[in-house]
Structure 1
């Protein structure tokens, strides 16, 4: 039985590198709260996750730094395996 490649050292190293950059979410542009870690990060929709610009299911490389992006868990999940992000939602009225 093959192990999960996301549990390996190269993936953890890439995740740590991307987290250390402290970038905003590449999908929505808002800041990510990098202080959310551990079990709390698994439940928080605003926590950091490593996203891949070219989805893995469409041939993206799991360990390529050029393919790695910082994203909120919520934004990453909403994007799914699409290559492009959804257009930002428009407000119901002008603010």
Structure 2
């Protein structure tokens, strides 16, 4: 399955999800577009709501989520909603 992540359908899914400009589904903060996508911890990554190791589909757009690289890594393959941090509301000035 690792080879398919370099394939055209996966790259299309990543591009489509990134083009939506959604915030990180894990922490709720915006994902910057001006950082190095390969190394920066706040860079965009494609996350899967149902982890692949738990039977989630790699190419299903309904399973695709926008995430920061560090949020995606910190989440691992956990699925329990209580493990997800609370989304932060904007500051009240």
TM-score (norm 1): 0.82
Query: Residue 48 in 1 paired to residue 44 in 2?
Result: yes
Distance 2:84 2:52 in 1: 22
TM-align CA RMSD: 1.7
8 Å CA contact 1:5, 1:11 repeated in 2 = yes
8 Å CA contact 1:19, 1:34 repeated in 2 = no
Q: Provide structure 2 residue ranges, at least 5 long, that are not aligned to the other structure.
A: 87-93
Q: Kindly provide the CA deviation profile for residues 4-45 of structure 1, in whole angstroms up to 9, marking residues without a partner as x.
A: 110000000000000000000000000000232xxx222100
8 Å CA contact 1:49, 1:73 repeated in 2 = yes
| Matched residue, 1:18 | 17
Distance 1:6 1:17 in 2: 15
Q: Provide structure 1 residue ranges, at least 5 long, that are not aligned to the other structure.
A: 90-95
> Which consecutive aligned stretches of 4+ in structure 1 deviate over 3 angstroms post-superposition?
none
TM-score (norm 2): 0.84
Larger Rg: 1
> Match of 1:42, SS?
coil
8 Å CA contact 1:26, 1:69 repeated in 2 = yes
| Matched residue, 1:34 | 33
Distance 2:58 2:42 in 1: 22
